[in-house]
Amino acid sequence: MLRESVTEHGTADLLEDFVQLLKPDGSRVANPTFDTWVADVTDEQLVSLYEDMVVVRRIDAEATALQRQGELGLWAPLLGQEAAQIGSARALRDDDFIFSSYRENAVAYCRGVALTDLLSMWRGHSHGGWDPYTVNMAVPAIIIGAQALHATGYAMGIKAEAADSVAITYFGDGATSQGDVNEALVFAASFDAPVVFFCQNNQWAISEPVGVQAKRHISERAPGFGIPSMRVDGNDVLAVMAATRIALDRARGGGGPTFIEAVTYRMGPHTTSDDPSRYRTKDELEEWKGKDPITRLEALLESTGALSDEVRARVKAKADAVAGELRQGVISMEDPHPLSVFDNVYAEPHSWLERQKSQYAAYLETFEGDER
């Protein structure tokens, strides 16, 4: 189940050397070890996962549209990574704590982050947007891989308190080249920290293919740190959920950290500022469209009769409603007050900053009455 050592067969070109429970055509693959971890998932729950994935894809599309219309400065689409994010996030307990990068919009959605809070960063109204403690999810880290250390430290704190919560950190294939991720693996292993390293290998770090970051499977690195790992089909919501549950269970039981490599694909650009046509082929995208995470779950649900027209219509209505709420929330966001630039730099008073603030306030007052 868990890879404890570096194997002989893990060259990076063997993409599908992973655990898969749900094939792209929607048929189930039997896997006695992993199946037991999702055996309790009912048709109803599968429909719920399907709904999540459809809704977050709709959020993604709406946010991209809002960016194109000038309502957002930037957006980092998760298109194609819905199963990796929903399957893992839905495996978590409310008291588990998430440290993510900036593409985990579906994870934030699962955590109940308000849509306007999620979007305020991309509209340029905040650098983060939400209160991490109300949803047990830190605001996104933009510096690549920095959050892996935060999760590890948080998990060291959990362990010191003898609590059974788990910290989970999300990062991409590019981040695995960063020192911080590697240092996090060292610290997590040394202190048996209850942390899950969840790597979404989406094949691309902006324009650089994963081969620039890793000559062998990323999941093979973890055993060298003393951390067992799993490599799963990241477009298979069941395999992702099973792997995450295994890792969480290990952590809660005092087993320490686990590393999951979820093999997925960033079907969209890195951000709305990116142009993937400069560095990858249409054929590659078409190939991955054939492995779409939503399509395969849809096929499974159709085969079992769980996806009636009525359910389909309900899910679509939900997605449309969320998108409408998102759009309305973004457009009606109030501009922050100019002097709020000085807010929350420090928790306690700071003499020279207060002086700068009062001086800028005096400057602004010279425009009173102007149309400015």
Tokens for 90, please give them.
């839905």
Determine if 183 is a binding residue for another protein (CB under 8 A). Answer: yes
Q: Indicate the residue among 144 and 214 with the shorter CB distance to another protein.
A: 144
Should residue 350 be labelled a site residue for another protein when binding is judged by CB under 8 A? yes
Question: For residue 108, which phi and psi values (nearest 5 degrees)?
Answer: -60, -40
Pick one of 317, 353, 361, 364: the residue that binds another protein (CB under 8 A): 353
For residue 57, indicate whether it is catalytic: no
In the complex, the smallest distance separating the C-beta of residue 266 from another protein, rounded to whole angstroms, is: 24
149 binds another protein (CB under 8 A): yes
| List 279, 314, 346, 363, catalytic entry | 279
CB of 41 to another protein, least distance (A): 31
Q: Is the Cβ–Cβ distance between 151 and 195 less than 8 Å?
A: yes
Instruction: Rule CB under 8 A: say whether 153 interacts with another protein.
Output: yes
| Residue carrying structure tokens 């990323």 | 218
170 scored as a contact of another protein (CB under 8 A)? no
Residue 317 in the binding site for another protein (CB under 8 A): no
127 close to 343: Cβ distance less than 8 angstroms: no
Q: Does 186 bind another protein (CB under 8 A)?
A: yes
Whichever of 68 and 350 has its CB closer to another protein, that residue is 350
Task: Give whichever of 157 and 223 is closer to another protein, judged by the CB atom.
Answer: 157
Return the SS3 of 258.
Answer: strand
Q: State residue 60 phi and psi, 5-degree precision.
A: -60, -45
CB 10 within 8 A of CB 17: yes
Residue 153 or 276: which CB sits closer to another protein?
Answer: 153
Alpha helices by DSSP H, listed for the chain, are: 32-35, 43-68, 82-89, 105-111, 115-120, 132-135, 146-160, 179-190, 210-213, 221-225, 237-252, 282-289, 293-304, 309-331, 351-365
Which of the residues 3, 111, 266, 327 is marked catalytic? 266
Among 5, 42, 332, 351, binds another protein (CB under 8 A): 351
Choosing from 50, 109, 154, 259, the residue that interacts with another protein (CB under 8 A) is: 154
Does 70 contact another protein by CB under 8 A? no
Judged by CB under 8 A, does residue 126 bind another protein? yes
Name which of 139, 160, 65 is nearest 97 in CA terms.
139
Q: Is 266 a residue of the active site?
A: yes
Contact between 180 and another protein per CB under 8 A:
yes
DSSP state, residue 218:
G
How far is Cα 323 from Cα 111, in angstroms, rounded to an integer?
17
Q: Name the pairing type of β-strands 204-205 and 208-209.
A: antiparallel
Which span (57-65, 326-334, 340-348, 357-365) binds another protein, by CB under 8 A? 340-348
Interface pick for another protein out of 155, 243, 326, 330 (rule CB under 8 A): 155
The Cα–Cα gap between 264 and 230 comes to 14
**Binds another protein by CB under 8 A, chosen from 20, 116, 152, 213:** 152
Q: 74: burial class by Cβ within 10 Å (0-12, 13-18, 19+)?
A: middle
Give the C-alpha separation, 329 to 80, whole Å. Answer: 25
| By the rule CB under 8 A, 363 interacts with another protein | no
DSSP, residue by residue, 4-28: -S--SS-BTT-TT-SB-SB-TTS-B
98 belongs to the binding site for another protein (CB under 8 A) = no
Smaller CB distance to another protein: residue 43 or 343?
343
User: Binding segment for another protein among 198-206, 295-303, 315-323, 338-346 (CB under 8 A)?
Assistant: 338-346
* 127 is a site residue for another protein (CB under 8 A): yes
The residues annotated as belonging to the active site are 266, 270, 279
Give me the residues that bind another protein (CB under 8 A), please.
97, 99, 126-133, 138-139, 141, 143, 146, 148-158, 160-161, 167, 179-180, 183-184, 186-187, 190-191, 343-348, 350-353
